Amino acid sequence: MSDLIRIENLIKTYGNVRAVDGISFSIPEGICFGLLGPNGAGKTTTIEMMEGILKPDSGEIYFHGRKIDRHFKQKVGIQFQNTALPEFITVKETLELFQALYPNPRTIEEIIEICSLADIIDRDNRKLSGGQRQRMLLGLAIIPRPEMLFLDEPTTGLDPQARRNFWELIGKIKAENTTILLTTHYMDEAEVLCDQIGIIDQGKLLEIDSPSKLLSSHFDGALVRVPHFGREDLVFSDGSLSGDFLEITTRNLDKTMKELLQSELNLEGLSIKKPNLEDLFLKLTGTSLRS
Amino acid sequence: MNKFTALVRARTMEFLRDRGTFFWNLLFPVILVIGFSFAFGSGGDSLFKIGVSGLKDDSRGTFLELSSIEVIAYDSKSADVIEKLRRHQLDMYIDFDSMTYYLNDESSSSEILRIITGAELSGFTENEISGEPIRYIDWAVPGIIGMNMLFSCLFGVGFVIVRYRKNGVLKRMKATPVSPLLFITAQMSSRFVIVLITSVAVFTGTNLFLHFIVNGSYLLLLLITALAILCMISFGLIFAARLKSEELTSGLMNLLTFPMIIFSGVFFSLEGAPVFMQKASKVMPLTHFIEAARAVMIDGAGLIQIMPNILVLSGMTVGFLIIASMLFRWD
Ligand SMILES: Nc1ncnc2c1ncn2[C@@H]1O[C@H](COP(=O)(O)OP(=O)(O)OP(=O)(O)O)[C@@H](O)[C@H]1O
Ligand SMILES: [Mg+2]
């Protein structure tokens, strides 16, 4: 698999904020790449530089191995984190408008089908609910039959059901072999959709790999979490304090449990689980994604 | 549909469906025109106005003492005086030097004055000229329509693009293969057609009742209107080029349109105004539109006579477009 898009040492500064601080990675053709990071990590800034919307202070973006040029915009589909839609026109009219802007667009019927827009097709843009709006914006993004689709937090603010429906839509698009770059705050979403994940914080790329490899390289065995009730004196190998919790990653659960019992810590609220991306995220960034 | 048509279509639909703005654009000037024609309609006082020249102490004319007659003295007979008579600003003109008097055969006041003065002016030669009266509204209608054009162009292009920038529509456009030039040209075209049609509609509609004087060519009026609209839209684009705040934009626009309306002679003539004010008014597109439109309507001016206005408007348009395109940013 060859790389479809590659970025090299992107840097973007706003005043004295380094929003993106030297990020490099590449995305192979046909995969779904997830960019994860807490609020203000630099996800939007990174993705918008890759889209050609923001000019990086320095660094390069290569598409098919060549620097992006003016034809790039015909080949990519973009869904911004916040987008206003033209007012006073309907979903269908908006789709028709965007259709006219691209050389080889999808048909309206195709988009209605992929994004389940049939029930809202004649509705005024201003009268869409959050979920309907996201489906419509995805529809706009896929009009150009993009080789590469950029989705910036496409499911933020949707209810769990709507999010799952949205995953299905993305699944359909992925099945057409479209390469996708998406940012999200939801770890379950990243686990379901993404083949590769990059975790960024404070403008820097911390980790990049497939979800399973990331987990196995950071967590060995099980994760034990227990409220420490202020007992910050507790010392465990592979243990760390995270907020009100003591977290211990262990390969030898039996031994860890015995140690915990000996410490006379109140074990009310103890949980043992297989670590997931959320745990990894917390470990790497030290903050909760949804905070 | 190509890109351009699609963009023009979307913008025009947006305008047509925004009922509030749509009706405001159409009704505001109509209300003004009709309001002004009522307010300044019938000329008010019933005085007869007689222009005289060469009046001596022994001249005949006891009627000149009548209180219902206002006498305006002129040095000598001139084209200006005759023009005033033609436009019903005078009801009669008597030149005692050459023993001639002039009446307007389309004026009922002239007719009455002929009877009143007839006996005393025996031996004088009578001359008849004809011309419709110029009412205030004939004079004011280009100004009112021009003012509406100015609002509609500034807010319909300048302000709307600033709003697009603020709410992200411009950013969404930037993400497509559309070039700024194409996008802006489409916005301009949509607005151009809308303003041209509303202006023609307002004029034609009110003309049905008010029968404006149009001595010159309608085609020339249309030409000057089209040119003025282009010029005003280009002016609006300068605001649209970079501003991000709707409040700032509308503040600036109001700040600029207010003096333009006062000093372009929309409601009153600048003839008596200080020279610097008259000069200052020449930098405003609206002034040139109003001057040219009045010249065509009232004086029956042709292309040659209004060429200076046409050249200035064209020059300004090009200048504004260059400035706007140098300043423009998507975000
Ligand atoms: N236009 C701007 N002007 C100034 N600072 C900005 C601008 N855009 C972003 N920043 C700053 O750059 C940093 C990264 O912002 P960015 O929007 O990329 O974060 P993000 O990861 O997308 O966050 P979120 O999850 O909240 O969307 C933040 O500190 C933000 O305050
Ligand atoms: Mg963001």
Return the domain boundaries, chain B. Answer: 2-39+135-327, 48-129
Helix or strand holding residue A11 (H, E): strand A3-14
Interface of B with A (CB under 8 A): 1-3, 5-7, 9-10, 13-14, 17-18, 164, 167-169, 171-172, 174-178
Residue A202 lies in a domain: yes
Interface contact flag, B9 A73, Cβ < 8 Å: no
Pocket test for ligand 1, best of A44, A57, A152, A189 (most atoms within 8 A of CB): A44
pLDDT digits (tens, 9 = 90+) for B70-125: 888 888 788 788 888 887 878 889 888 888 889 888 888 888 888 888 777 778 88
Distance A47 CA to ligand 2 centre (A): 9
Q: Which residues contact B69 (CB under 8 A, 6 or more apart)?
A: B47, B48, B49, B50, B63
Output the residue whose Cα is nearest ligand 1's atom 26.
A39
Which of B10, B167, B177 is facing A89, going by the closest CB pair?
B10
pLDDT at position A1: 57
Q: What is the mean pLDDT of residues B249-270?
A: 85
pLDDT at position A290: 42
Q: What is the mean pLDDT of residues B34-38?
A: 81
**What residues in B contact A84, CB-CB < 8 Å?**
164, 167-169, 172
Residue A290 lies in a domain: no
Quote the tokens at residue A267. 């074990």
**What residues in B contact A96, CB-CB < 8 Å?**
1, 6
Residue B132 has pLDDT above 80, yes or no: no
Exposure pattern of B71-85 as b/e (b: 16+ CB <10 Å)?
A: beebeebeeebbbbb
pLDDT at position B276: 82
Distance B88 CA to ligand 1 centre (A): 71
pLDDT at position B264: 85
Choose the mutation target among B162, B172, B173 for the interface with A, i.e. most A CBs under 10 Å. B172
H-type helices in chain A, by residue range?
43-51, 72-75, 91-100, 108-115, 130-142, 160-175, 187-193, 211-218, 253-262, 277-285
Interface contact flag, A51 B175, Cβ < 8 Å: yes
Same domain, A97 and A232: no
Q: Domain containing A80: what range?
A: 3-211
**What residues in B contact A85, CB-CB < 8 Å?**
169, 172
Q: How far apart are CA A147 and CA A75, in angstroms?
A: 6
Number of CB atoms found within 10 A of residue A244's CB: 11
Q: What is the mean pLDDT of chain B?
A: 87
DSSP A14-53: ETTEEEEEEEEEEEETT-EEEEE--TTSSHHHHHHHHHTS
Residue A286 lies in a domain: no
Same domain, A239 and A203: no
Same domain, A193 and A246: no
Tell me what ipTM this predicted complex has: 0.80
Distance A176 CA to ligand 2 centre (A): 26
Handedness of CA A191, A192, A195, A196 (dihedral sign): negative
Interface contact flag, A84 B3, Cβ < 8 Å: no
Q: Could you identify the atom of ligand 1 that is nearest to the CA of residue A48? A: 18
**What residues in A contact B10, CB-CB < 8 Å?**
86, 89, 93-94, 97
DSSP tally for chain A: helices H, then strands E: 10, 14
Name the closest ligand to CA A41.
1
Confidence band for B128, pLDDT divided at 50, 70 and 90: confident
Name the residue in chain A with its Cα closest to that of B174. A53
The residue type of B121 is L
Burial (CB < 10 A; 0-12, 13-18, 19+), residue B198, is: buried
Q: Could you identify the atom of ligand 1 that is nearest to the CA of residue A37? A: 21
Strand, helix or coil at A263?
coil
Interface of A with B in 59-78 (CB under 8 A): 70-71, 73-74, 78
Residues of chain A with pLDDT under 70: 1, 287-291
With tokens 């109001």, the residue in question is B254
Choose the mutation target among A75, A88, A149 for the interface with B, i.e. most B CBs under 10 Å. A88
Interface contact flag, A73 B172, Cβ < 8 Å: no
**Count of structural domains, chain A:** 2
Distance A210 CA to ligand 2 centre (A): 22
pLDDT digits (tens, 9 = 90+) for B219-252: 999 999 999 999 999 999 999 998 999 999 999 9
Say what percent of chain A tops pLDDT 70. 98
Residue A147 belongs to a domain with what CATH number? 3.40.50.300
Name the residue in chain A with its Cα closest to that of B166. A84
pLDDT at position A244: 81
- What is each CA distance from A12 to A151, B56, B205, in whole angstroms? 20, 90, 57
Interface contact flag, A51 B169, Cβ < 8 Å: no
Nearest Cα to Cα of residue B328 among B164, B180, B158, B187: B180
Residue B10 has pLDDT above 60, yes or no: yes
Same domain, A30 and A98: yes
Which of A53, A97, A98 is facing B171, going by the closest CB pair?
A53
Strand, helix or coil at A67?
strand
Residue B170 has pLDDT above 70, yes or no: yes
Same domain, A40 and A170: yes
Q: Comparing A199 with B59, which gets the higher pLDDT? A: A199
Name the residue in chain A with its Cα closest to that of B14. A88
Which of A83, A96, A102 is facing B172, going by the closest CB pair?
A83
Predicted TM-score of the model (pTM): 0.80
Name the residue in chain B with its Cα closest to that of A142. B176
CA distance B161 to chain A (A): 12
DSSP B93-114: EEETTTTEEEEETT-HHHHHHH
Interface contact flag, A80 B2, Cβ < 8 Å: no
Q: Could you identify the atom of ligand 1 that is nearest to the CA of residue A153? A: 27
* Pocket of ligand 1, beta carbon within 6 A: A 14, 17, 19, 37, 39-45, 81
Does A242 reach chain B within 8 Å, measured CB to CB? no
Same domain, A190 and A228: no
Distance B307 CA to ligand 1 centre (A): 55
pLDDT at position B324: 92
